[in-house]
Amino acid sequence: MSTIHLTTIIKSDIHNVYDLSRDIDLHQKSTSKTNEKAIAGRTSGMIELNETVTWRAKHLGFYQTHTSKIVDMKKPYQFTDVMLKGRFKSFKHQHIFREDGKNTIMTDILEFESPFGIIGQLFNYFFLKNYMKKFLVKRNEMIKNAAENNKINT
């Protein structure tokens, strides 16, 4: 199992940051390099508790699909999505938000495991963990930019 902890400080209201983090349209803009598109379930707007989204994207040279579901949500402090269907053996992403003065501290905790036993573990260690971290950093930069420039509607 690999775990990524990522903290992003955003000069914006917690409600704004929370909503931007759930925005399917903004997510698609932030993942334009992988041509990520929501193709089933919630395909636009803000995802809510118990909703699913199926993404189609080109990662590592192959088109893949990944279906996740929002399994826990406490507005505007956190939400958690888990993979229902996809290439990972397991995948859980916690999105946590807290206020700090005029800033919002956004924390991502991403836990994932590749299939294929020891080969999957080695792939996680040598490549996939770094790849996933860069993917999250890019996404968070887009959220930060939108929030700090008061672009609530993407």
Q: State the pTM of this model.
A: 0.91
Predicted local distance difference test score (pLDDT) of residue 151: 56
Q: What is the pLDDT of residue 31?
A: 87
Q: What is the pLDDT along the chain (154 residues), one digit of tens a residue?
A: 899 999 999 999 999 999 999 999 999 998 888 889 999 999 999 999 999 999 999 887 889 999 999 999 999 999 999 999 999 999 999 999 999 999 999 999 999 998 888 888 888 888 999 999 999 999 999 999 999 997 554 4
Q: Are 29 and 154 in contact (CB under 8 A)?
A: yes
End-to-end CA distance of the chain: 34
List the one residue out of 149, 152, 112, 154 whose CA is nearest residue 10.
149
Collect all residues with Cβ–Cβ distance below 8 Å to 47 and sequence separation of at least 6: 22, 24, 53, 70
Q: Can you give the pLDDT at residue 154?
A: 40
Cα–Cα–Cα angle for 81, 111, 89, nearest 5°?
85
